[in-house]
Structure 1
Amino acid sequence: MNNSLIHAFFVGRAIAEIAYEQLENGVTNALSELGKFDAEQRENLRTFVDQVAERAAREEEIAMQARTASTGVRVGSQTEDLQATIDELRAEIAQLRSALQVYRSRSV
């Protein structure tokens, strides 16, 4: 009986050690996968933010070029006199006002 108790003790101890090692490996692998997932998601987010910033900058530049082409004024330097640009804008406003008055008079 003494031998069987000692044998049972060592069997139980071996089971506990192996179960602990397997649990440790499982937790380590799970944490490793979680770390990889977190790193991938951070990289995806960084890539997304970079793409958004690039597209916004590209769209802004296109809009500024279109604006520059329509007004004749370049950002940072002027190709036309500022007063001439103001006069053109006032003329456009006057044309729009007269067109709006014509439209309103037809509507009544």
Structure 2
Amino acid sequence: MISALQHPHLVKLYGCCIEGNQLMLIYEYLENNSLARALFGTNESQLTLDWPTRMKICIGIARGLAYLHEESRLKIVHRDIKATNVLLDKNLNPKISDFGLAKLDEEDNTHISTRVAGT
């Protein structure tokens, strides 16, 4: 279902492999790893992000979430947005990943929830 979603701010899922209790997801390669590593990683892995770049990343994440919640034909609530689940491509464009806690929303339901989920 997630591989059917196409948006510039969602990671592309190319495939998966299930063997026993092991699950492997194959995503597109994103050169700059995660936003968490760029911000909080070791000195060697941290990136210098100026304010316009930070704003571009935030707006990209918001656009990806708006697509999931309002624009796609499947209404999906991610429920685990955090810096480790945002990957950065070579141009520092953000891509939302890790849909492990995502929830498919019914047509009449809103995406607003007070239930705790995720980390």
TM-score (norm 2): 0.23
More helix by share: 1
Which has more radius of gyration? Answer: 1
TM-score (norm 1): 0.25
More strand by share: 2
